[in-house]
Amino acid sequence: MPANDHPIGVFDSGYGGLTVLKEFVALLPEYDFIYLGDNARTPYGTRSFDVVYEYTLEAVTRLFDEGCHLVVLACNTASAKALRTIQQRDLPRIAPHKRVLGVIRPSVEEVAEMTKNGHVGVVATSGTVASESYPIELEKWSGGRVKQTTQEACPMWVPIVESNVMDTDGANFFVQSNLCSLFKKDPLIDSLILGCTHYPLLIDSIRKYVPSEGVRIIEQGKIVARKLQEYLQRHPEIDENCTKTSGRKFLTTEDVCFFEARAEQFLGYPIQAEKIEL
């Protein structure tokens, strides 16, 4: 990408955000995108608020240095633990005209429209669950349509995806036991939010162990892409600062060869990455 380009930044602790980037590129192919995976420090889901905030701010600052005017935290854990502080405390100080968005609010708005009986389930990392972001945001933004939100922390799911062992007995065991525990807490759940951008990679296993075919499963990629498109239409002042030459750039804090091989599995096409330090 030319040095004076202004790509949209997409950040995740590892590979999970690639499930979101893939949908961004499909819906908004002309825009420039830069992806940053903090693979060296993944997972974030078991880390404290302070550490997730510190790591996320480092990543956002780096993406601003790369020319981004808009950054999407394609990571629920970072959205839950760092987004608000960055928006309210850091942005006015370091970059008042730049914007950082998350993935929780778009998912909440979608499920509020989708649920029929108001019983929503959320599977997410321990950090996202402990933050209570989903129950709080669902209460705030569902207009009373969501009556009960039940959460289940799934601390093994991200390591399973990061280690590329999704199609194994071990992976099935953890998916089954977490879903069993969730639906035992509320058997009436009719809509299930995959509240972690890594989880779509486990969709086959998740479908197998969701107790009824009537349960709607909400994957975030397409929803967040649609909301980003609407956001850019509503905010021409931000949109005009996003360059559109279909440029793609990938940064990782881990080994480049490893990242390139895994990213190709997520995206379905080969990419070239660059190693950085945060």
Residue 233: burial class (beta carbons within 10 Å; 0-12, 13-18, 19+): exposed
d(CA 243, CA 159): 35
Contact flag: residue 23 with ligand DGL (CB under 6 A)? no
Active site residue 180: no
- Give all strands of the β-sheet with 216-218 in edge-to-edge order: 148-153, 119-124, 191-194, 216-218
d(CA 64, CA 95): 8
Q: Are 163 and 156 in contact (CB under 8 A)?
A: no
Q: Where do we find the tokens 């429209």? A: 113
> Cα 258 from chain centroid?
21
Comparing CB distances to ligand DGL, the nearer of 154 and 242 is 154
Q: Of 140, 132, 86, whose CA–CA distance to 108 is shortest?
A: 140
Contact flag: residue 75 with ligand DGL (CB under 6 A)? yes
Of the listed 68, 154, 196, 242, which one is catalytic? 196
Number of helices followed by number of strands (H, E) in the chain: 14, 10
Pick from 44, 53, 250, 259: which binds ligand DGL (CB under 6 A)? 44
Comparing CB distances to ligand DGL, the nearer of 7 and 14 is 14
Whole-number Cα distances in Å, 219 to 31, 50, 104, 255 = 23, 28, 12, 28
Pick from 56, 107, 115, 125: which binds ligand DGL (CB under 6 A)? 125
Pick from 7, 45, 67, 102: which binds ligand DGL (CB under 6 A)? 45
Active site residue 196: yes
Of the listed 75, 154, 242, 257, which one is catalytic? 75
Contact flag: residue 193 with ligand DGL (CB under 6 A)? no
The window from 21-29, 70-78, 131-139, 253-261 that contacts ligand DGL (CB under 6 A) reads 70-78
Comparing CB distances to ligand DGL, the nearer of 115 and 125 is 125
155-184 residues near ligand DGL, rule: CB under 6 A: 158
Looking only at Cα atoms, what is the longest distance across the chain?
A: 54
CB of 129 to ligand DGL, least distance (A): 10
Pick from 39, 56, 76, 205: which binds ligand DGL (CB under 6 A)? 76
CB of 96 to ligand DGL, least distance (A): 27
Residues in the site for ligand DGL, rule: CB under 6 A?
A: 12-14, 16, 42-45, 75-77, 125, 128, 158, 196-198
Catalytic residues: 75, 196
